[in-house]
Structure 1
């Protein structure tokens, strides 16, 4: 997947605590445990405090309430907690202890209005103020340690598995949908809706056996027919799913999706009965089960409203603001789901996110909020890899000098990849030591990361001292005394310009080469890359699926994204063998060999791998961090030690 070297940020209103300028405002919204509250009369704000009808708030939080008309006194009792307020008095008592109020209780149109924060917090509830939506959020004592408030960096576009289009979509969808298989916290494949599966000896036929107790959120059964219909809907050209290509390993899928004479009935996905799904592949694919674990392979079903079959269900979705998820009591493994609610809040502005995190309104955020440092006490920072690589492409067809492998190696070894990554991206990148990025699995059903097996395939540090010698030897072999004038084609974003400056400086300092940068918008860069109208360019590629071949098979002769024009018959044969290999261990060894050959030829020059940056409070436990598509899985998450 082509990666944009670009970050888009839009501003939203600041987030503060439950304090407002001294004035009367339009009625704020109030939610209790995520459910909107309706009051008569409506709440209002005064002197920076929100007031609500006394009886409604006391009774909603499980307290009894008494009104003394003579003394104009409100008394609320819950267990051993006793709250006393008098209309007009700025002093209340909680269990006999005085509490000074910014705003006294008052009587309006024969209704007594009380400050919501005092009552809620005195009764053990948690109160938060969201200025963006002008909402008071209250979480009762029994719920506050079972609710997560997580910030996401942008809006949600869809939760439909066929229409997901961003990391935020994937992350939220992961919590409400479940496919046939899923990954555990260590990245191992485990049963999902399918309790078991069989694979034919030739690796072409997969038979999935569904659980009897797998249900939709309305209590209806999840069936094999649901999967068949959902997968074929993904492939229907009218759906226009951007992920339909993920299904192309299935016999008949590609022809149907690309309108090449195929029909839905030709796609070899068939429900043999309610609990048995049979899938026939066009050719063996070692990583097929890992693909099936991705969010797009989950089933979808809509009656009067969307249904969900995952650990949580969407209670409310406001796409530009976020989504409120609640535990799905129909989920087959509900007894192991400990959270009751997840409140995803879209906060694109990192400065606002930083204030929200510091105030305690957000329990976690991705990316790192502005003003929040990894060293901040009471925080956990993780930098899971994003399974993306950014690399130099050398146009050998346009610049004859770049046909010399020593020249290409010199241009790559002259760089300090880790220094570039840290200088430009900080925690959100690391220097590349191969072409297949950190985080990508070995592709087999068993766990394990490819980079752990392949190790450092670039050996940049060891080869740095040879860069100048290799460069001079390459020029001599070409009969040149200097490299012809070349340009570096790159995006015009801030990060790209910083990267280009470091590349150009390194080439000047280490090789004595002066390279000119050509900055263009991404679409024009992509156009020039596709038409091979460049000398050297910085490109990016992200995993389409969790297997090294999503990176390695790009470089076969004539490949659609082989903009460098690389061609090596030995490499082509090796990639072909990998596609056919049924033995997992041999296949991994062959992929290691393919990457080594690619980098021996220095067909491309890897520069950096991108990381996600996730910051969250240490009381969040059981969080499963992912490297591909969903940023994390919250099925096993829980809160411990928050207060």
Structure 2
């Protein structure tokens, strides 16, 4: 009997444990083809529609083809993107963005402030069903279904917020806030984002070719405002699902970069100069199906949460600087006082270092829920990405839950299927 489907999913921004990326750049910055950089950030993306994407690999591709009002520098600080400058009202609620002169889409058509008005409202539309539509809730009009975002002329965008928020500029650099083409979407529907001829963006690169299961090739966008300062002529995203295949391709110099590798290879690569760790904000979490028993019972959910030995997962599976999550928001995010970390001020829900105490509490909660030692609890299904790292992480709570009498069946799926 199915009692639950759990999902593992990496959130992109504001939804947050330290998930280190495995970065393996080659010694040079050019591949054998000269001006083409061959890299791997994952398999075929589920979507590269800026409004619909919710994965890291898809976002990596999107930020090459699109650009928001602001963009982020190497330190994650928002800097001018499509907007050359902006002003903020004294109460912090009204932002006026001034677009750069002569902005164009990659096909040469003029880009205007009205494109942002359309795109942001499209992202919150129920018809679009964007995963990240809630990120627009800081904008006035969100609850009414029409954002208080106005193009006073082709180069001026006025955004009124519901309340002043200190991170609004960072939001405008997030992929979901990118402008998209109304004419192409209305003419082609969802297929606009799968064909190179209709996937028209405003970013530094444009899609030249997408061969499913093989590669997505992007070439420099000559209509981009900062074209003269771009790097390689082409970027070829080699599409691979399996971690072992990625590592083999890197060793054969078929790709110059991959952001993942088999967990059991980490120790062997740790001291090699090609191996680098880069911290990334994000929380690896389990999502419960609260619409079905027994996961509609918060006592059961808390018991299963406490049964997970986070320190074991970090040390024995992750092995790459991750931190055990005692709460949802990770380290690295400031509190209201920017000199202090939210994690330190907010505290933890649980102490990850006291696993035995957590197990004892988990058993108490199960008994309170009417399932002493797991008796009477239906079989639980855990859904995860079939990548080796995700599989290993899924196997950990599968084993750990048995300590409180709970049996879990692990079901792994290809990443795109898992997302849906």
Cα contact 1:180–1:192 (8 A) shared by 2: yes
Note the residue ranges of structure 1 that are not aligned, 5 or more in a row.
Answer: 8-124, 128-138, 257-265, 506-513, 524-541, 543-643
Supply the distance in 2 between the matched residues of 1:239 and 1:458 (Cα, whole angstroms).
Answer: 37
Cα contact 2:327–2:349 (8 A) shared by 1: yes
- Is 1:168 paired with 2:57? yes
- Is 1:418 paired with 2:311? yes
2:382 counterpart (482, 485, 491): 491
Q: 1:498–1:183: structure 2 CA closer, same or farther, 3 Å change rule?
A: same
1:178 counterpart (52, 60, 67): 67
**TM-score normalised over the length of structure 1:** 0.47
Supply the distance in 1 between the matched residues of 2:409 and 2:80 (Cα, whole angstroms).
Answer: 48
- Is 1:381 paired with 2:271? no
1:502 counterpart (396, 400, 407): 400
Please name the residue that 2:168 is paired with. Answer: 288
Please name the residue that 2:406 is paired with. Answer: 516
SS for the counterpart of 1:172 is helix
Alpha-carbon deviations, 1:370-415, whole Å to 9, x = none? 885433734123253351243799x9x999xx98xxxx89x95x97
SS for the counterpart of 2:283 is strand
Matches of residues 198-597 of structure 1 in structure 2 within 5 Å? 198-256=87-145, 266-301=146-181, 305-369=198-262, 372-373=265-266, 374-375=269-270, 377-382=272-277, 384-385=279-280, 387-390=282-285, 412=306, 416-427=309-320, 430-438=323-331, 441-442=333-334, 450-451=342-343, 458-461=350-353, 484-486=372-374, 491=382, 495-505=393-403, 514-519=404-409
Structure with the greater relative contact order (CA < 8 A, sep ≥ 6): 1 or 2?
Answer: 2
Please name the residue that 2:7 is paired with. Answer: 4
Supply the distance in 1 between the matched residues of 2:171 and 2:337 (Cα, whole angstroms).
Answer: 10
Cα contact 2:46–2:53 (8 A) shared by 1: yes
Alpha-carbon deviations, 1:609-642, whole Å to 9, x = none? xxxxxxxxxxxxxxxxxxxxxxxxxxxxxxxxxx
Matches of residues 5-84 of structure 1 in structure 2 within 5 Å? 5=8
Supply the distance in 2 between the matched residues of 1:192 and 1:314 (Cα, whole angstroms).
Answer: 20
Supply the distance in 2 between the matched residues of 1:342 and 1:421 (Cα, whole angstroms).
Answer: 33
Cα contact 1:354–1:371 (8 A) shared by 2: no
Q: 1:270–1:319: structure 2 CA closer, same or farther, 3 Å change rule?
A: farther
Alpha-carbon deviations, 1:490-543, whole Å to 9, x = none? 6166543432323544xxxxxxxx4333447699xxxxxxxxxxxxxxxxxx9x
SS for the counterpart of 1:174 is helix
Matches of residues 47-126 of structure 1 in structure 2 within 5 Å? none
Alpha-carbon deviations, 1:398-443, whole Å to 9, x = none? 99xx98xxxx89x95x97531233334444954224331245x338
**Larger-Rg structure:** 1
SS for the counterpart of 2:217 is strand
Shift of 1:229: 1.9
Cα contact 2:66–2:178 (8 A) shared by 1: yes
- Is 1:192 paired with 2:78? no
Alpha-carbon deviations, 1:587-625, whole Å to 9, x = none? xxxxxxxxxxxxxxxxxxxxxxxxxxxxxxxxxxxxxxx
Give me the CA root mean square deviation: 4.4
Shift of 1:457: 7.3
Note the residue ranges of structure 2 that are not aligned, 5 or more in a row.
Answer: 11-29, 185-196, 385-390, 414-418
Cα contact 1:186–1:447 (8 A) shared by 2: no
SS for the counterpart of 2:140 is coil
Q: 1:232–1:421: structure 2 CA closer, same or farther, 3 Å change rule?
A: same
Supply the distance in 2 between the matched residues of 1:165 and 1:448 (Cα, whole angstroms).
Answer: 29
Supply the distance in 1 between the matched residues of 2:360 and 2:205 (Cα, whole angstroms).
Answer: 60
Cα contact 2:335–2:345 (8 A) shared by 1: no
Alpha-carbon deviations, 1:227-268, whole Å to 9, x = none? 112222323444343333332333333433xxxxxxxxx432
Supply the distance in 1 between the matched residues of 2:340 and 2:6 (Cα, whole angstroms).
Answer: 25
Alpha-carbon deviations, 1:521-570, whole Å to 9, x = none? 699xxxxxxxxxxxxxxxxxx9xxxxxxxxxxxxxxxxxxxxxxxxxxxx
Q: 1:221–1:426: structure 2 CA closer, same or farther, 3 Å change rule?
A: same
Cα contact 2:140–2:148 (8 A) shared by 1: yes
Q: Select the structure that is richer in strand.
A: 1
Q: 1:370–1:309: structure 2 CA closer, same or farther, 3 Å change rule?
A: same
Please name the residue that 1:91 is paired with. Answer: none
Number of aligned residues: 358
Supply the distance in 2 between the matched residues of 1:201 and 1:469 (Cα, whole angstroms).
Answer: 53
Alpha-carbon deviations, 1:113-159, whole Å to 9, x = none? xxxxxxxxxxxx965xxxxxxxxxxx2xxxx2x43211132103443
